[in-house]
Structure formats: C-alpha cells, structure tokens
Structure 1
C-alpha cells in the first residue's frame, strides 16, 4: 500500500510560544516514521472545501501517536486554526510519513551538528528526542537561532538536555539580560566552537527559513565543511 490519507484525532495541544504549538494526534494504523520526516495535513470544511499544509514531526515514532509543530503564519488560512483553535477530539487527515533525505536513521551513531532557525528546530528536536530514547551516546551539538527568548521552542527540554547534547541558543532581535552576545544573525563565530568538536565530513542538519539555511550552509562550506555532509530543509 502506498502513502494514504489517515484519520487523525487531536488529543493534546502544548503551547510552545505565543504563536506556536505542538499538537499530538492519534492516527490508527500509523506506520511509524524517522526523525526529520514530515506529514501533510488536510482539513475539510462543512461545505466540502479542502486545504492541505505540511508540518514537521516533532518527536520520534510512538505507536499510533504523532506530534506536529505548528508555527502561526500571519494571515494564514490553516496554521492559526491548528495552533490555537482546533478543539481536542477533532479529526483531521494526515498523509505520511514524507521525506527521506532530511532524516536521522537508527544506524547513524556518529556525532552530529544541528542548526535551527526559528520553528526549524521542530525536526531537529525529534532527532534529539530519538537519541535520548535509543540510548545513543554520541554527542549532539545544537545551535538554535531565535528572535528573542519568548520565541524559543521546547524551553524546558533544552534547558535540561542530556549531558552529551550541547545546546547553544543565539538571538537575532532581543537577547536575555546578561547575554554577552549582541543580537544578530548566525555568524561563523557562532558555529566555530561546536564545529570544532566535529570533522569536516561529519553530518550537519540545517533547518529554517530559506535565507537562514542558505547563509548557514555557505558559512559551513567556507569553514571547509564537505557540502555532501550538509543536509538542509527550508521553508518560506
């Protein structure tokens, strides 16, 4: 059987920021997925009108439960409703899992660098959570760029990660009190410390807005990184 549409019932909504939520659905017959994959979500109105959007899976496979990360798009048709208004117990349809390039597979045990911009942290969080679940001991390095402290997803989880998960958060518009780094875009200096712990052909996953992904990828290549080791996922 190919990839089909399946009924998905919302069972929990977890606010992440003022404009973003994690949504947990029960999907009977869900075939499982890899960290980094995504799904299509289809909503159908009472008059039959349908619309489809894609969202990253925020957690590793857990039986028939999946977790999605939804960031509100200003004036969006779907994301505000999903993030804030879809009532628990409501049904939508999902199709997936989708994507085979931007994934972290169980047999990958080497250290890895993860670079996230904004809501691009969602699939990378799935990779970190899968690492914890499988008991892998290889180091993970996460550089997470957010506009301000209020825009950081998964605050509790990232504040107390596994000792082998090195998390650094940088801010583009407003830094917290006492920060020694001025707000601004990710620079080579931001990447240097974590990248120095890896090899130029170590895997890197970069996810975020298109401009962010292109900028970080170019910085890594300028640092001597093997382009074949850089996997990217972009939006916007």
Structure 2
C-alpha cells in the first residue's frame, strides 16, 4: 500500500471501465489459475478490494464477475487467483481459453466495506480461495514493516486445497486443516480457544470464504468477544 498521504487519506470513488493485459498465467493447482495483469490507467488500491472482469461476446452479450486482488499496491502488476467453477462463464474462460497477451475489460479497484486501511489492528479468518484478500493484506503489512498489525487464520480441508499456504505460513499465519491432523493440532475447524488469544488488541476482523464458511466463522469471533459491527464478511460461490 502506498504511503502517499494524498492516496492514504482519500476514499475510493467510482472507477471507469478500462483494460488489463495478461502478463503471466499459471496454475497453482488443476482448478486454480493465477493471472498477473498490467492494468491501463490503474488506480491505487487498498488490500481487500476487488476488480470486476467483464467478457463481451461478438453479439455484445456480456458477463462479469468480481475477483479479489492478491497483490500489494506497490506491485507493478495486479494479481488474481481464480477458481474454475463448474459452468462458470468467466472462470472457465480465464482458466481454459485466455492466453498471455490477451486484453480484458476491467473496472476497479472496488470496495469500501472490506478494505483494510493498513493502520487498524486486524484479524483475517479465511477459508479456501477466500485467502486471497488476506494475502494482499499480508503483503501490504510486510511492505510497510507492520506485520504486528495483522493476524491471519487460514482454513482448508487439506494442504493442497489452501492457496498461498507457504507464503502465509512464512508470514506467521495460523493454518488449520479440517480433514487432516498435523503434529500441532487435530483435524477440525479452528476453535474459540484457538481464536480468542489472537483477538487480543484486534479492532476489526475480515472473514472471507464460501457462504458456509462465513456462517461458521462469525460465531467464534463473536463468542470470543468481538463486536458484530467489527466483523467484515465477504462471501463467494458459484452464483455469488
């Protein structure tokens, strides 16, 4: 995140449609595609924000979908991690058809509710591909030398289902697997006993994952004493 005062003090406003060129494309797993894009007329972004990506057919039929930004604002490219969803018009195109050099319609960055200001002590409780905004927050905190402001709890069924697992672990994230026991803990969702100590000094929490995960995640946060108004939730899914 830039420390320029004119940017840091401003509120994100409406952004116009622009274009982004795919610079790199890779597959961290068979169902995930990572795109790094050069965005034309790019606006600065806050961790937690997202872009709309729009596809246009020859008959002018359009479809669009939101994708969270994984990259830090200081990265010259904008990074997205996209899950190929069954019958997903856009995710299947981006995974199976789009190529390096292709230009896509984009609008962003978007999002006031879920953005992190890089100053408020925060906890991220994220699941599966919902780790993406937490990755952006982790990268921003590292760039600013304020890792002390951010704590991350990342949840997945198994290690191979947790994107950015190595990066998050190196950043000190608490990683839990619901279907695999490790030397540190039994298999299962993070408990109130695990989450409560991480909330000491925390003023805001960000929850991102499937609708089912989001429903689970709010409960231990509230039970641990965090006010509901301090919890920001972002859900995703095949029809989200």
What TM-score comes out, normalization by structure 2 length?
Answer: 0.85
Equivalent residues in 2 for 1:202-217, closer than 5 Å: 202-217=203-218
Which ranges of structure 1 fall in alignment gaps of 5 or more residues? none
Tell me the equivalent position of 1:36: 48
Tell me the equivalent position of 2:192: 188
Larger CA deviation: 4-13 vs 79-88: 79-88
How far did residue 137 of structure 1 move? 4.7
How far did residue 64 of structure 1 move? 5.6
Larger CA deviation: 124-133 vs 67-76: 67-76
**Residue aligned with 2:125, SS:** strand
Q: Structure 1 CA distance, aligned partners of 2:133 and 2:64?
A: 19
Tell me the equivalent position of 2:66: 54
Change (3 A) 1:25 1:12: same
Tell me the equivalent position of 2:225: 224
Q: Structure 1 CA distance, aligned partners of 2:60 and 2:177?
A: 43
Indicate which of 92, 104, 110 corresponds to 1:98: 110
**Residue aligned with 2:126, SS:** strand
Tell me the equivalent position of 1:111: 121
How far did residue 176 of structure 1 move? 5.9
Change (3 A) 1:85 1:94: same
Tell me the equivalent position of 2:5: none
Alignment: residue pair count:
225
Change (3 A) 1:5 1:64: farther
Which ranges of structure 2 fall in alignment gaps of 5 or more residues? 1-12
